[in-house]
Structure 1
Amino acid sequence: MEAKIMELSYRGVGYTHSPATVTVSPGKVGGRYRGLDWRFRHLSKPVVLPTKLDLLYRGAAYRSEAAAAPAQTVQTAEAPAPGRSHVLDELARRLMMGHQRAIRVRQQAMLVRGTERVGLQANVRNFWNRIQGKVHPTFRLTYDRSRVSMS
């Protein structure tokens, strides 16, 4: 069987594509699917890919063999001392505070709805203390709004 050669074009650059040919030997019938036999096929010999390629990417030559060109040493500037940036700490703090504020507002709304449903006459609109009680450490992971609703 002869391999077909295709003329392809990608971003205006034309090239010919000839897929690798793989010789297989038919195997035993594995079963039937929708009335047709399906069988395993076995490779006659293992596929060996070429180890050395001369490639061209956007007009620049590229060789897959790393030892083809001597490596050039580049002097780098001294890196600043390791440490967290104050800006990053401030952003993390603001994110956490905003998250806690949103949880507090949701808790207050739940408290107001709960007192109205029960029929209490207490004014809990200005009740800003946290709802007390034992809270499992993973509570915050599942308590927040769904990320899907934010999109």
Structure 2
Amino acid sequence: MKLHYRGVNYDSEPLMADVTEGETGGTYRGHSWKIHKPKLNRRRPSSVGRQGSVELTYRGVTYRRS
């Protein structure tokens, strides 16, 4: 998809997510709608997983996240 913002042209590739269609969630204005749940990879990134804390920097300030 070709996009243009503040004088800059660029291309964007839309992200596609795998979803599963669930049960009926309800009705709205006479039409029923279904719940869509994304198929997620439930694994945590290895840098945050079992290794304890991770050292991060935000605007020049270093901090640890465990």
Q: TM-score range by the shorter chain?
A: 0.5 to 0.7
In the TM superposition, residue 39 of structure 1 has moved relative to its aligned partner by 1.4
In the TM superposition, residue 19 of structure 1 has moved relative to its aligned partner by 2.0
Larger CA Rg, structure 1 vs 2 = 1
Choose between structure 1 and 2: higher strand proportion: 2
Is residue 2:3 matched to residue 1:17?
Answer: no
TM score, norm. by length of structure 1 = 0.26
What residue number does 2:32 align with? 37
SS, match of residue 25 in structure 2: strand
Q: Where does the alignment leave 5 or more consecutive residues of structure 1 unmatched? A: 1-5, 47-65, 67-151
SS, match of residue 21 in structure 1: coil
How many residues align structurally?
44
Quote the RMSD (CA, aligned, Å): 2.2
In the TM superposition, residue 38 of structure 1 has moved relative to its aligned partner by 1.1
SS, match of residue 22 in structure 1: coil
Q: Where does the alignment leave 5 or more consecutive residues of structure 2 unmatched? A: 42-56, 58-66
SS, match of residue 40 in structure 1: strand
Counterparts of 1:29 and 1:21, CA distance in 2: 23
User: What is the percentage of aligned positions where both structures have the same residue?
Assistant: 38
- Counterparts of 1:94-133 in structure 2, within 5 Å, are none
What residue number does 1:26 align with? 21
Which contiguous aligned blocks of 4+ residues in structure 1 show a shift greater than 6 angstroms?
A: none
In the TM superposition, residue 10 of structure 1 has moved relative to its aligned partner by 1.5
What residue number does 1:89 align with? none
SS, match of residue 28 in structure 1: strand
* Greater RCO, 1 or 2 (C-alpha within 8 Å, sep 6+): 2
